Structure 1
Amino acid sequence: MNTELIVALISGGIALVSAGFAMWGQFTSARLAADLQNLQLAEARRLEREKTVSRYREPLARAAHDLQSRLYNILAQGFMHLSAENKTERERSYVLNNTVYLIAQYFAWTEIIRRDIQHIDLGTEEETTKLARLQDNTYRLWQTDRFGSLFRVFAGEQRAIGERMIIETPRGPECIGYSAFLDQNLSEKDPLLNALREDVRECSASLEEARPRLIAIQNVLIDLLDFLDPNYVRFPKERRRKVGQ
């Protein structure tokens, strides 16, 4: 084999190897670019999910905390009994209207979540399913007939009360504040809220009848709080005692 042929074969081999390396480099670059794009998309989805969660998690947790706290005071601290002994109209009015408001506020935030995003996507199917189950438990406890008629609120009524309390703001839908609730006399104008007012009035004299339902609701609200704020960042552990345990 002459020298020129050998040189040509070597040159051809080098060219093939170089072409192979070039193709491998292009393939690797394309794969890295695709991986980077996928990571960027995943991060964007994560940030959007966190934004959505933070938008709804805290007000839902706040509404659950406020309501369970009031139920605890009613069930374990004699709140309704003491209110019946109050001599001032201001105190009686606060007990009545604020209790109705706290119930309606919770319905409002559950309705906002149902309407806007159906449920909070927490990133994993297990976590999301657990939250949906906790929310469903509260719907069920309000509407079941096994606790009698006092504080029985059907699922559609829960939604209707929630809708009545929702206002649109630049940040999106929110629940009206207590001041606006009082200014609009909502609990007197709306038949469903007025029914809640009557239940609160009756509860002061018939707490034992209301106790089983209110205990069950208070307990599941604590479970919801433990899920939404597991590290006790916003709501301290000592304020989350379940009645009956």
Structure 2
Amino acid sequence: MMELIPAILSSAAFSGLTVGGLIMLYIRLKLTSKYNEQLESLRNVNRTEIEQVKSNLQKDIVHLQHELELEKQRKEKELEKSEKLEQTVNHYTGVILLAAKDLQDRLWHLTQEQATSNKPVLLNKELDKKAYGSWPMTKKHYLLSTLFLFAQFFCWVEILKQEIRFLNFGDSELTNKFSALIKLVERSLAETKYQKIAKAKRISTDYPVFQMMQSELGCALIVNQEKGPRSMNFHEFTAAYDKLSSQVEGLHFLERLLENGVKQIESNFCHSRLKITSNSLVDLILFLKEKRNLVPEEQIDFVDHEELDFTKNEFGEIPIKNSVMR
């Protein structure tokens, strides 16, 4: 700025100015120069801030896009898990439905026909003796086939449990309800508190098949193959029965339960326990049939429960009064 003063003083344009006027002009020029410098500085600052804001916005956009992608992947995995679970459950509930229906049919026959017979086949002393002429059933076949129907049902339940072990049920109505009904069947065979709902003041005989016994028996029938696990068929079961009998404790409890189940003695709870199991299976069957749009309820055989009171709710999470026990 100082170097401009001689030029200003020598300029014809400023020849008429006084020294005071020149000083004022200098001050104005000085102030204008500072203003321009400050303005340029502010512009630079604004450009820097704008660039910083743009950079931060870009980072936020990238972060948000990343979060959205992670959320999308999470939802896709949840959907895949849910679909896989439904496929697994749908696949195995088909065979469990058949196994449950076969077992329930046999229990209905045992509690409604054999238990009212003058000569129940399971009380024959000879294994190979025919019941009577019009029904040439032997104790051996009736007992083994009934044991197999129980074991087959346990087996498919265990296979399903293994298949869904690492999957999350979530809030799926189907899988939660199905799990509760399976648990009701398991408890019907295992829970000793059920004795409280009998009319008898004292229970002298009962052979519950506890849940780990059910699991052990089910696992013993699993046949692993390349296309997936399956249950033994009846032929394989009878061929392996002697070995299974020596290794699986639950078979002996189940055998005693069946033989005592045809004895209608008030203090003997075995008959009542098999009735409870039969109708627990009906609950499961009706649920699966409804989900698969199969036969209506009236085509299912129920067991009469006149001697039991199913209005009491003493058994934990599953209210007895809400199940189909008649």
TM-score by length of 1: 0.71
CA distance in 1, matches of 2:167, 2:186: 16
Secondary structure of 2:224's counterpart equals strand
CA distance in 2, matches of 1:98, 1:41: 44
User: Which of 285, 290, 308 matches 1:230?
Assistant: 290
Deviation at 1:201, TM superposition (A): 3.1
For 1:176-215, what aligned pairs fall within 5 Å after superposition?
176-182=232-238, 184-186=239-241, 189-191=244-246, 192-204=250-262, 206-208=263-265, 209=268, 210-215=270-275
In the alignment, what sits opposite 1:137? Answer: 184
In the alignment, what sits opposite 1:72? Answer: 108
Output the amino acid matched with 2:275: I
Deviation at 1:169, TM superposition (A): 1.9
User: Which of 150, 175, 195 matches 1:128?
Assistant: 175
Query: How many correspondences in the alignment?
Result: 242
Deviation at 1:236, TM superposition (A): 5.7
User: Which of 158, 168, 175 matches 2:214?
Assistant: 158
The more displaced of 190-199 and 107-116 is 190-199
Output the amino acid matched with 2:255: R
Larger Rg: 2
Contact residue 81 and residue 167 of structure 2 kept, 8 A: no
Contact residue 109 and residue 175 of structure 1 kept, 8 A: yes
Distance 1:231 1:114, change over 3 A: closer
- The answer to whether the aligner puts 1:240 opposite 2:304 as a matched pair is no
Deviation at 1:120, TM superposition (A): 8.5
CA distance in 1, matches of 2:159, 2:261: 28
Deviation at 1:125, TM superposition (A): 3.4
- The answer to whether the aligner puts 1:62 opposite 2:118 as a matched pair is no
Secondary structure of 1:169's counterpart equals coil
In the alignment, what sits opposite 2:281? Answer: 221
CA distance in 2, matches of 1:148, 1:232: 42
CA root-mean-square deviation: 4.2
Deviation digits for residues 12-41 of structure 1 (CA, Å, limit 9, x no counterpart): xxxxxxxxxxxxxxxxxx9xx999988876
CA distance in 1, matches of 2:293, 2:169: 18
Secondary structure of 2:177's counterpart equals helix
Which segments of 5 or more consecutive residues in structure 2 lack a partner in the other structure?
Answer: 1-65, 122-130, 196-202, 305-325
User: Which of 223, 229, 236 matches 1:167?
Assistant: 223
Higher helix share: 1
TM-score by length of 2: 0.56
CA distance in 2, matches of 1:180, 1:114: 23
Contact residue 209 and residue 253 of structure 2 kept, 8 A: no
Q: Sequence identity, in percent?
A: 23
Distance 1:241 1:130, change over 3 A: same
User: Which of 116, 126, 132 matches 1:86?
Assistant: 132
CA distance in 2, matches of 1:226, 1:112: 21
Distance 1:178 1:118, change over 3 A: same
Contact residue 169 and residue 176 of structure 2 kept, 8 A: no
Higher RCO by CA contacts (8 Å cutoff, separation 6 or greater): 1
CA distance in 2, matches of 1:111, 1:148: 32
Contact residue 113 and residue 120 of structure 1 kept, 8 A: no
Output the amino acid matched with 2:254: L
Which segments of 5 or more consecutive residues in structure 1 lack a partner in the other structure?
Answer: 1-29
CA distance in 2, matches of 1:59, 1:118: 19
Output the amino acid matched with 1:200: L
Distance 1:110 1:66, change over 3 A: same
Distance 1:200 1:169, change over 3 A: same
Distance 1:54 1:222, change over 3 A: same
Output the amino acid matched with 1:49: L
Contact residue 97 and residue 187 of structure 1 kept, 8 A: no
Deviation at 1:55, TM superposition (A): 2.1
Deviation at 1:118, TM superposition (A): 3.8
